[in-house]
Each structure stands twice: as structure tokens, then as C-alpha cells.
Structure 1
Amino acid sequence: MSQDRTQDPFAGNVASSVHVAGHPIHVMLVTFPIALVCATLGADLFYWWSADPFFVRVGLWTSGWGFAMGVAAAASGTAELLLVRGIRRSAEPWSHAVAAMMLLSVIGANWGLRLLEGASAVLPWGLFLSVLGLVFVGLAGWHGGKLVFEHQIGVEGSKD
């Protein structure tokens, strides 16, 4: 669906200010927590199916690294939000930020639960938190995708 760029509060391209060689750091980092949240859910499902303790360890590592990489992505995203005036003037980036912080809270709780409880944490609460994490990955990703594809945030040059 095409949008009238004159109505867009981001009209005129809002380039990333937190980048390496023109590549936005936040966009590069978010792929890791997304993949690791999916991997944690996969480990939980395999543990549920097989009861193999290997998958408990996999879930512990993937949830921990997912949280760590999520913190790194959040730091770069927060810097982007605060440093670029054109980004923080609209509600849409804040919606993305709130969804991403909810995601970070859920995956942090998931990792903490696994650290404290071990294998007994996986079923049912670890699995529940893994599914909830996937829901927030979708929500934060949808809002982030709107910022990139509809509003061209962090994209150099115009497609017009």
C-alpha cells in the first residue's frame, strides 16, 4: 500500500546515526535475539518431546545469549531513538521500543528462570515464556519493519 509522503512525519529520509560504514548497528544486531528466541522455543519443544537433558542446556544457552544480544540491540536502538530527532517525534518508533522492551523483559525472565530452576523450569513456564517471547518478536518486528519499509528510517537514499 502506497503512502502519501507529504503526510508522513518521517518524510525526507531519516538516516541512521549509529552505524558502521553506513550500515545501521541496530538492524545488524536484532537478527541475533530473533534467531535465539526461536531457537529457545525449538529447544523447549524438543525437550518436551524427548526429555533429553541436552535440550535443557541448549535452552539455557540460547535464552542467555538471546537476552545478551537483545540488550546490545536495545542499546543501539535506544541511541538511535534519542540521537535522531526525526525518529523520536512520532509515536510509531516508541511503539516499536515498547514492544522490544517487553520482548527483552520476557527473554530475560526466561533466562533467569532457567538459571535458577534448571530442567524443572522448562515445563510449563519456560515453554510458556518462549512462546510469549516469539509473540513479542513478531510484534516488535512488525513495528520495526513498518519503520524501515514504510517510513525509510535508517535507509540511505530514497526509493522515490
Structure 2
Amino acid sequence: MAGHPIHAMLVAFPVALAISTLGADGFYWWTGDLFWARAALWAGGMAFLLGVLAGISGTVELLLVSGIRARAASWTHFVIAVMLLSVLGANWGYRLTTGFEEAVLPWGLLLSAFAAAFTAITGWHGGKLVFDYQLGTSSTGKG
């Protein structure tokens, strides 16, 4: 939008929240304090919802900006990001349907760890696009 990479601006929130979900699950496991189970539910839900928003903006940029669309690494990042969104959604949905406290151990914690790993892989690929290919750094709108 007006030469600004909206996806790059939005993606920080779901990344931080996905990692926070894992942290909250770990603290619940360690302390047994219900606060951390509730925090994991909220962080996981917001990671998914804001991830969908970042994903929509990333998809628009991928499809509309030829410099992004031309790179195979962009498509790899896209596919992994969609997989990450499915894991984030599964994690949040599991907590909503099971009950946020009962969902943490063991499956919530495992889903959060899986989401954190996918977040790292997806972020690495996104960083490669920015730092290696300079995509999203030009104000000309060409990539």
C-alpha cells in the first residue's frame, strides 16, 4: 500500500503471540497457575486471528507484486505460512473445544511447540526474502 510492505508490518504480532503461547503453556506446566492456561488461550487465539490478517496481506502482496511472485522462495514461504496458520488454528480450536485448562497438557503444549517451530521456519524464509532478495524494501512497489 503506497509502497509500504503491509505484510512485514503485520507479521510481528502473530509471531510474538505464537511464541508467547508456548511460553504460557510452559509456565502453566511449571506452576499449575490457571492464569497461564487462560493467557495461552488468548495468545493462541490472537496469534491465529492476527496471523490470518497478516496472511491475507501477504497473499495480496504475493499475487500483485511481480518481484515477489517471481521468486520460488516466496511460494515456499507462502506454503509454510499456510501450514503454520492451520497449526495455530488447530491449537486455538482445541483449547476452545476441550477447555483451556484441560487442553494444555500434553496436546496444547505440543501444538504450541509445533507452532513455534513452524513460526521459526516461516520467519526464516520470510527473512530470506527481505534480506537476501530485498523484497518489501523498495518504495517503488516493484518488490
Is the TM-score greater than 0.5? yes
Shift of 1:35: 0.4
Q: Which residue of 2 aligns with 1:76?
A: 57
Q: How big is the alpha-carbon RMSD for the aligned residues of Structure 1 and Structure 2?
A: 1.4
Please state whether the residue corresponding to 2:33 is helix, strand or coil. Answer: coil
Rg comparison, structure with higher value? 1
> Any residues of structure 2 matched to 1:141-160 within 5 Å, and which?
141-156=123-138
Q: Which residue of 1 aligns with 2:109?
A: 127
Which whole-Å CA distance do the structure 2 matches of 1:146 and 1:113 have between them? Answer: 32
Please state whether the residue corresponding to 2:61 is helix, strand or coil. Answer: helix
Contact 2:67 2:135 in 1 (8 A): no
Q: Determine what percentage of the aligned residue pairs are the same residue.
A: 59
Shift of 1:89: 2.1
Unaligned runs of 5+ in 1: 1-18
Shift of 1:86: 2.4
Which whole-Å CA distance do the structure 1 matches of 2:13 and 2:80 have between them? Answer: 17
Say how many residue pairs are matched. Answer: 139
Shift of 1:141: 0.6
Shift of 1:59: 0.6
Please state whether the residue corresponding to 2:102 is helix, strand or coil. Answer: helix
Contact 2:51 2:85 in 1 (8 A): yes
Instruction: Name the structure with the higher helix share.
Output: 2
Runs of 4+ that moved beyond 6 A = none
Which whole-Å CA distance do the structure 1 matches of 2:36 and 2:97 have between them? Answer: 16
1:4-43 C-alpha deviation (Å, 9 max, x unpaired) = xxxxxxxxxxxxxxx3x54311001100010001110011
Q: Which residue of 2 aligns with 1:113?
A: 94
1:81-135 C-alpha deviation (Å, 9 max, x unpaired) = 0001222122110000011111111111000000011111110010001000111
User: TM-score when scaled to structure 2?
Assistant: 0.93
| Aligned pair partner of 1:65 in 26, 36, 46 | 46
Which whole-Å CA distance do the structure 1 matches of 2:68 and 2:10 have between them? Answer: 19
Unaligned runs of 5+ in 2: none
Q: Which residue of 2 aligns with 1:43?
A: 24
Which whole-Å CA distance do the structure 2 matches of 1:87 and 1:58 have between them? Answer: 36
Which whole-Å CA distance do the structure 2 matches of 1:47 and 1:154 have between them? Answer: 38
Please state whether the residue corresponding to 1:120 is helix, strand or coil. Answer: coil
Which whole-Å CA distance do the structure 1 matches of 2:9 and 2:80 have between them? Answer: 18
Shift of 1:156: 1.6
